[in-house]
Structure 1
Amino acid sequence: MIDLTIIIPVYNVEDYLEECLDSVVQISDVSMQVICIDDCSTDSSYYILQRYREQYPIEIYVNEQNRGLAYTRNVGLQYAIGRYVMFVDSDDYINPSVISSFIKKMKSDELDLLYFDVEEFINGNRNIEVITKRKRKYSYPIKCGLDIFDLMVKKGEMFGCVWDGMYRKEFLSKHNLQFLDGILHEDIPFTFAALLNASKVGVMLETGYYYRQRSGSILHQPNYLKRARGLIIGYAQMICTWNYISTKMDLSEYESSINRYLDSIVSMIETNYLEGCSGDCEDAIVNHFMTNFRINTYRKLKEIVGSGLLQEMEKYKRVSLYGAGNIAKKVLPFLASEGIEVSAIFVTDIENNPNTMNGIPVLQYETKYGNEYDAIVVAVSQQLQKAIVDRLLELNYQGKIITLTV
């Protein structure tokens, strides 16, 4: 049986494809199947694949129409015959020198899934800046997927991407693990389901993959509503996965970590929504989710503020807000829903902020402006609250300071 299948979706990556393929064909001491699926590229990517097929045993498949990353990966899984599977994006590349050691680890410990390190870098015109934020700092014992998930969430190292792992093909087939077609962020529900189903998972702190950040790639274009939609559909799928596995085993000891991870996905949804839509949007799925989310957010804020403080705030003639980030974007409509009008928004540094927010001017805080307002609502993260309050007091702000966060 072939040791490894490497699945490479290809779409308009003529500048990077050779580097990717060169890294793959350098793998030694491993029997290998390389599957490249061209997703209707309009540049020379397909011709580069043909040239490499003349020299190396590469299988090429072509989608009849452009279908996206999830569908294309699923095509690769359909044709995969290796004992293990890796997913490689065609603008990235791998470390060929460690693949055989990963295979040995998978075999010796009979793993369903093996995680390894990723080095992330920014691809610029003239220089490449290496980032190591996706490298794990902690060692992990071989455990079931739920235990590894629990540990990674608690340590802040649950990354939710597929190219930092090697998967046993029979495991993927047994649990019918495929990518949700037609969405962005399809990796997240896939990796969630894989971990919740895996019997044995290992982690090797060796770099096996190099991930390229580039402005033209899917996840670095400002498709905020598409990204929010993909995350919402993935979130719903993750809830279904959790509920299904809960019927087969007791997940109560993992409930805290699962909720924490799902909450992080909701935060990603909210961030993309706030970046991409100032009010109601045309996407019914996003609109429905965010309407319910906004109701829950307002309920939480009302509990935090309390009816007494709200009544007190209604007495102030001029109210301002400090902060123009995501927390402020939630607090501002909440205050409006309670009949509290905010007439100015203050920030520490105007350079990195918009000129207006919801039609309200955004100003750099100065004492001469600040003291024109009876109250300032500080709507920033808890980590920044004290510094902002201290600064207002230092600048001799005379009004009421109210801190809010969610």
Structure 2
Amino acid sequence: MSVKISVIVPIYNREKYLKECLDSVLSQTLKNIEVICINDGSTDNSQKILEGYQGKDNRIRLFYQENQGAAKARNIGLNIAKGEFIAFMDSDDKYPSNNTLKNMYDNAVNNNVVICGGSMHFLTADGVPRNNRDELNYFKQSGLMEYKNVQCNGGFTRFIYSLDFLNLNNIRFPDYQWGEDPVFLVKVMVCAKVFYALTENTYYYRKGHNYYEFDFQQINDAVRCWTDNLMISKAEKLKFLHTNCLKELNEILKLHLLSSLQQGNVELRELLVKVANCVDVDLLIDYKLGILLNPISDYFMSDYTIIEISKFRELVKSNRYSGYYIYSTSRAAEKTYDIFVEYNIEEKVLGFVDDELELQHNSFLGKPVFNYNMCSHNKDYIFILNRFCLEAKDKLNQDKMCYVVLNI
């Protein structure tokens, strides 16, 4: 009997939830499945539980590796899988119904697609379905969907994937300790372009039972994940995904990144500069580049983020701000002004800022020169700093003004 779905389950110290997980998989009405369990170096009773289940059901294929992370475990599963389709299950989660795999498989085959999946619903730590749902992981209607109209980057376990398609396109999980699954999902969705969506819940995801303390490697890999998806969304012109990646990086990991920097994570500083320079401001939806860079500057860099001239040109061309103040009357300020002249929009420059002045100076390059307190604090204006006037950022942060630091 041919294997229709290979269910890949990486396990690391999940003795508390593992039986519930395996019961959920093995009780599926689609019987011709294989369950590839990769014990990722567990130190609890997970191995004993796995061996007990393997003795009762020969559909379980059990493998062991020294602790290397879920990405490597899943890739091992992909390399040895025999199924027509692949499903991924985390060892503390479960399927909502005994018909889940059958429904996904039948719809994938009947609609001739390489990806099929439904909605993800969250459970409490005790396994009780939560009342609220995450709209980003929920489909309101069933049918063929183009990925460009969805642009999700989370909930990869709610789908099944054609193994031939993954192999043909050489799609595997990046070797990250954290954040490998959003990169996998975006890559496969962009490659497939279409998938079949189901409104039913196809995955139960448990939350609230884990406490994470990220080490430097995990933190840096998380930033690499968002960088990868920023680059993909930039190349594919996926506005929602591009914007959402920045929001997640900016809002969700703020505290982790700050702590890691304070503990001496030097590589993270370089990775965050790379993130800032991956941004395509023309793809941002109601999310201004300056607003992004300020929190990176304050919380992540504990210093400042520099953008290159090429990125600044994109910002100027985007017309996202109605006015600009250029800090200082130095040669660097003059070179900044030349960029506006280059695009014939020098009227956007409201003036130059010199904090040593108590009153308005005559002019510089034909524009007025102000003390900062005399500048308009309109949120549609942005201040342009260079590395020689960074003392100004404290006032700008206090007033919650948008600013960028230009590498000039």
TM-score scaled by structure 1? Answer: 0.66
Query: Within 2, Cα distance between the matches of 1:341 and 1:106?
Result: 54
The change in CA–CA distance for 1:206 and 1:315 in structure 2 (over 3 A counts) is farther
Which residue does the alignment assign to 1:311? 354
Secondary structure of 1:27's partner? coil
Q: Is this contact kept in 1: 2:176–2:218, CA < 8 A?
A: no
The change in CA–CA distance for 1:227 and 1:337 in structure 2 (over 3 A counts) is farther
User: Is 1:282 aligned with 2:265?
Assistant: yes
User: Is 1:152 aligned with 2:150?
Assistant: yes
Cα drift, residue 279 of structure 1: 5.2
Which residue does the alignment assign to 1:340? 392
Cα drift, residue 282 of structure 1: 3.0
Match of 2:119 among 117, 120, 128: 117
Query: Within 1, Cα distance between the matches of 2:219 and 2:11?
Result: 24
The change in CA–CA distance for 1:173 and 1:313 in structure 2 (over 3 A counts) is farther
Which residue does the alignment assign to 2:185? 191
Cα drift, residue 94 of structure 1: 0.9
Structure 1: tracts of 5 or more residues without a match: 320-330, 344-374, 380-402
Secondary structure of 1:120's partner? strand
Query: Within 1, Cα distance between the matches of 2:231 and 2:139?
Result: 31
Query: Within 2, Cα distance between the matches of 1:31 and 1:376?
Result: 60
User: Is 1:167 aligned with 2:161?
Assistant: yes
Which residue does the alignment assign to 2:250? 267
The change in CA–CA distance for 1:121 and 1:64 in structure 2 (over 3 A counts) is closer
Cα drift, residue 52 of structure 1: 1.0
Query: Within 2, Cα distance between the matches of 1:234 and 1:170?
Result: 25
Query: Within 2, Cα distance between the matches of 1:121 and 1:76?
Result: 26
The change in CA–CA distance for 1:336 and 1:206 in structure 2 (over 3 A counts) is farther
The change in CA–CA distance for 1:279 and 1:43 in structure 2 (over 3 A counts) is closer
The change in CA–CA distance for 1:268 and 1:281 in structure 2 (over 3 A counts) is farther
Residue deviations 1:18-58 (CA, integer Å, cap 9, x gap): 11011111101441111111111100001011111122124
Cα drift, residue 137 of structure 1: 4.8
Q: Is this contact kept in 2: 1:71–1:181, CA < 8 A?
A: yes
Residue deviations 1:207-236 (CA, integer Å, cap 9, x gap): 1111011443xxx41317444411333345
Cα drift, residue 79 of structure 1: 1.6
Which residue does the alignment assign to 2:54? 53
Deviates more, 1:304-313 or 1:203-212: 304-313
User: Is 1:7 aligned with 2:12?
Assistant: no
Query: Within 2, Cα distance between the matches of 1:376 and 1:193?
Result: 37
Query: Within 1, Cα distance between the matches of 2:28 and 2:64?
Result: 27
Q: Is this contact kept in 1: 2:355–2:372, CA < 8 A?
A: no
Q: Is this contact kept in 1: 2:154–2:182, CA < 8 A?
A: yes
Structure 2: tracts of 5 or more residues without a match: 277-304, 316-320, 328-350, 360-370, 374-382
Q: Is this contact kept in 2: 1:305–1:404, CA < 8 A?
A: no
Q: Is this contact kept in 2: 1:227–1:272, CA < 8 A?
A: no
Q: Is this contact kept in 1: 2:117–2:198, CA < 8 A?
A: yes
Which residue does the alignment assign to 2:43? 42
Secondary structure of 1:61's partner? strand
Query: Over aligned residues, Cα RMSD in angstroms?
Result: 3.9
Q: How many residues align?
A: 319
The change in CA–CA distance for 1:262 and 1:133 in structure 2 (over 3 A counts) is closer
Query: Within 1, Cα distance between the matches of 2:262 and 2:386?
Result: 13
Instruction: Trace 1:4-403 onto structure 2 (pairs within 5 A).
Output: 4-95=5-96, 96-123=98-125, 129-133=130-134, 135-139=137-141, 141-143=143-145, 147-148=146-147, 150-153=148-151, 158-198=152-192, 200-216=194-210, 220-223=211-214, 225-238=216-229, 251=236, 254-257=237-240, 259-264=242-247, 267=250, 271=254, 274-278=257-261, 281-284=264-267, 286-291=268-273, 293=276, 294-296=305-307, 306-307=326-327, 308=351, 310-311=353-354, 338-340=390-392, 342=394, 377-379=398-400, 403=401
Q: Is this contact kept in 2: 1:52–1:58, CA < 8 A?
A: no
Query: Within 1, Cα distance between the matches of 2:116 and 2:165?
Result: 12
The change in CA–CA distance for 1:182 and 1:291 in structure 2 (over 3 A counts) is closer
Secondary structure of 2:225's partner? helix
The change in CA–CA distance for 1:304 and 1:6 in structure 2 (over 3 A counts) is farther
Give the aligned residue type for 2:150: M
Give the aligned residue type for 1:339: E
| Sequence identity percentage | 19
Query: Within 2, Cα distance between the matches of 1:215 and 1:313?
Result: 55
Residue deviations 1:124-167 (CA, integer Å, cap 9, x gap): 6x987554215415336414xxx32x2113xxxx1423212111
Query: Within 2, Cα distance between the matches of 1:376 and 1:239?
Result: 26
Give the aligned residue type for 1:192: V
Cα drift, residue 206 of structure 1: 0.5
Q: Is this contact kept in 1: 2:84–2:164, CA < 8 A?
A: yes
Cα drift, residue 376 of structure 1: 9.0
The change in CA–CA distance for 1:255 and 1:94 in structure 2 (over 3 A counts) is closer
Cα drift, residue 261 of structure 1: 4.9
